[in-house]
Amino acid sequence: MGDPTRPKGPEIVAIANQKGGVGKTTTTINLAAALVEQGCRVLVVDLDPQGNASTGFGVDPSARDLTTYDLLLGDVDVRETIQSTDTKGLWVVPANADLSSADIEMISNEKRSFLLRDALRQRTLDPYELDYILIDCPPSLSLLTVNAMVASDSVLVPLQSEFFALEGLTQLIMTVREVRQSANPHLRIAGIVLTMYDQRNNLSKQVEADARENLGELVFKTVIPRNVRISEAPSYALSVLSYDPTSKGSVAYRSLAKEFVGKRGQS
């Protein structure tokens, strides 16, 4: 159910997992591309100092004058930080290494957990008529990730189909609960998506079985296969959907987008 006290606007989704290399950025880029293909208007906010999502969308490092850092700490209007991409209906707020000091700089701020929420709530976003804002989180449960969760309606968790994958999840779910109790009671878990899934590998199947048994409906039916086209696409500054539209990776991310939009409708 929607929250009547929240202003109407795009659904904001944090793509989060404190482990690195599990497919957060890959899922952000390709879910965004798949949503745009389905007619949605999407803004990606790069919240990782590594700036991989920005690079993946072809934003040259030298063209990152105003970044997420300025959005959080520079009292800058969100519109000034938004860049268009080669894809119509898809925008990005880029990040660079400036963001790596943000955690420390935010600590002394009274509103430290609310900086991103307040920056994204500006009515100035209205003209973009966004359907979704996807936030690509850094690999930590730091203040940056907390800012993403406070600003978001839901959290989408990519889970690498690997041993120990479920271990960090308890901590992540606890952080979601804490944010719910302290700052954002309406935060939902949009779902958990298995990434880099290898059908021929028993371990992948085991992780999937464990995840479905323990987490049930939270786990998306769609799994993202390990697919070389997915890993090649960013070096051409393309989503896999543009790079190789019929690849298994593209098919999977399209299916994830459909399921994601459908789940939103149910809740």
Catalog residues that contact ligand ADP under the rule CB under 6 A. Answer: 20-26, 52, 139, 195-196, 224, 226-227, 230-231
Figure out which of the listed residues 19, 24, 64, 263 binds Mg ion, where binding follows CB under 5 A.
24
Residue 31 C-beta: closest distance to ligand ADP, Å: 11
Interface positions, 26-85, toward Mg ion (CB under 5 A): 52
Nearer to Mg ion, 51 or 125 (CB): 51
Residue 50 C-beta: closest distance to Mg ion, Å: 6
Contact between 96 and Mg ion by CB under 5 A: the answer reads: no
Residue 195 C-beta: closest distance to ligand ADP, Å: 5
* Cα 193 from Cα 195, distance rounded (Å): 6
Contact between 25 and Mg ion by CB under 5 A: the answer reads: yes
Residue 23 C-beta: closest distance to ligand ADP, Å: 4
Residue 52 C-beta: closest distance to Mg ion, Å: 5
* Cα 245 from Cα 20, distance rounded (Å): 27
8 A C-beta contact, residue 47 and residue 136:
yes
Nearer to ligand ADP, 18 or 87 (CB): 18
Burial class of residue 242 in the structure, from the number of CB atoms within 10 Å of its CB (0-12 exposed, 13-18 middle, 19+ buried):
middle
Nearer to ligand ADP, 15 or 43 (CB): 15
Half-sphere exposure of 169 (CA within 13 A, CB side): 25
Which of ligand ADP, Mg ion, none does residue 230 bind (CB under 5 to 8 Å by kind)?
ligand ADP
Contact between 161 and Mg ion by CB under 5 A: the answer reads: no
Nearer to Mg ion, 52 or 87 (CB): 52
Binding site for Mg ion (CB under 5 A): 24-25, 52
